[in-house]
Amino acid sequence: MIQENVVSPLNKTANILNKNVTEKNTQFIKQKATELGFSFCGISKAEFLEEEAPRLEKWLSNNMHGSMQYMENHFEKRLDPTKLVEGSKSVISLMYNYFPEKEQRKDSFQISKYAYGKDYHFIIKDKLKTFLQLLINEIGEINARVFTDSAPILERAWAKKSGLGWVGKNTMLINKNQGSFFFLAEIILDVELQYDSPIKDYCGSCTACIDACPTNAILPTNIIDGSKCISYFTIELKGELLPKEYTKNFNDWIFGCDICQDVCPWNRFSTPHQEPLFAPDSRLLNYSKKEWKEITQDIFNEIFKKSAVKRTKFSGLKRNIEAISKK
C-alpha cells in the first residue's frame, strides 16, 4: 500500500535545492539594495491586497481624492500585483532616505523636503534599472517591472507587508529606526523569495499629527482626506484660485507640506541623506518671503531645474504664494 504523505528522496533533495536558491537570491537582493544606497529592503509575497480593497473603495466613494480623478482608474491593478506583472511571485519594497542636512529658514515660505533637490523619480528609477540588471545577471531572465510612484501601486501597503514599518495615523510609512522621510520603490518579479513579516503599529495613543494638521485633513481612523490636504491644494489642484477657507491655514506652505511628519516623534531618529543629487539650490534655503514673491520665470527655472516643483509650474507656485499672502 502506497502512503500518500511519503516524500521521495529526490523530492526532498529538490526542495532543499530550491530553498537554498531562494535564500541565496534573497540575500543577494538585500545586499545589492544596500550597495545601491537604499536604507531598507523588505520582501513580500505578490498577492491580492485583501485588507486594502474596502479601504480604497470607501476612500474613493467618499471623494477624499478630490479632483485627482486618476485615482479612480486601475482599481484592480492597485490591489493585485499580478495585474502589473504577469506571473509575479514577489514584491521587493525599498526605502530611500531624503531627509536633508539643512532646511529652509523658518520665517519664509515653505517647500516640502522631498522636493529640495533633483526629482526623485529620475534618481530612483535609474537605481532600480541598475538593480534589475544586476538581478538578471545573477538569476537569469526574469519577468519584472520597477516602480517609484510611477504606476497604480499601493506602495505603503507593500512596504508595511514587507516589514519595513507601519502606516501611521498620518498614513505615512514609519520606520522604527529612522522615521518617515523616505521615498518608496518596488520591484515586482516572477521569482519566489524569502518573505519578511509585518511589524506592529507603534503609534499607540499619540495624536501629534492629527492635532498639528491645520486643515484637519487627518482623520482619527488612519485616513487622509486628500481633498483637505495642503499638498493636494498646492500640487494637485489645478486652476487659478485656491479656496480661501483653507489657504488661511496653509502656514506658509507653497509646495507640499511636511507638518504631520515634522511633529511625528519617530522622526527624531531621522538622519541626513547621502544623496548629492538631493542637495538644494542655496536660494531655496535662504530666500525671504519678499524674494519668493518677486521670483521670475527664469529664476524659477534655475532653482527648480529637474525638480519635482516643476510639476506645479511657475504659474502654480505664483498662485500659491499669492493665495497665502492674501490671508
Is the pLDDT score of 7 beyond 60?
Answer: no
Residue for grid cell 521521495: 8
Query: Which is higher by pLDDT, 152 or 301?
Result: 301
Q: Which three cell numbers stand for residue 156?
A: 505603503
Question: H/E element holding 95?
Answer: strand 90-97
Question: Taking Cα atoms as reference points, which of 286, 297, 285, 290 lies closest to residue 321?
Answer: 290
| Neighbour count for residue 249 (Cβ, 10 Å) | 15
Is the pLDDT score of 9 beyond 60?
Answer: no
pLDDT at residue 260, rounded to an integer: 98
Average per-residue pLDDT for the chain: 91
Q: Using alpha carbons only, what angle is made at residue 144 by residues 134 and 54, rounded to the nearest 5 degrees?
A: 135
149 is catalytic: yes
What are the domain boundaries of the chain?
Answer: 14-325
For the chain, give the percent of residues with pLDDT over 90.
76
Distances in whole angstroms, Cα of residue 30 to Cα of each of 23, 52, 187, 194: 11, 26, 12, 11
CA distance 146 to 158: 14
pLDDT digits (tens, 9 = 90+) for 165-175: 999 999 999 99
Q: Report, as an integer, the average pLDDT of 4-9.
A: 52
- Amino acid letter for position 56: L
Question: Taking Cα atoms as reference points, which of 288, 320, 281 lies closest to residue 304?
Answer: 281
Q: Annotated catalytic residue: which of 80, 107, 126, 149? A: 149
pTM of whole model > 0.85? yes
Q: Rounded to 5, what percent of the chain is helix, strand, coil?
A: 45, 15, 45
Q: Considering only 31-35, 63-67, 161-165, which range has the smallest mean pLDDT? A: 63-67
Question: Taking Cα atoms as reference points, which of 43, 27, 36, 34 lies closest to residue 139?
Answer: 27
pLDDT at residue 19, rounded to an integer: 77
pLDDT digits (tens, 9 = 90+) for 108-117: 999 999 999 9
Overall residue count recorded for the chain in this entry: 327
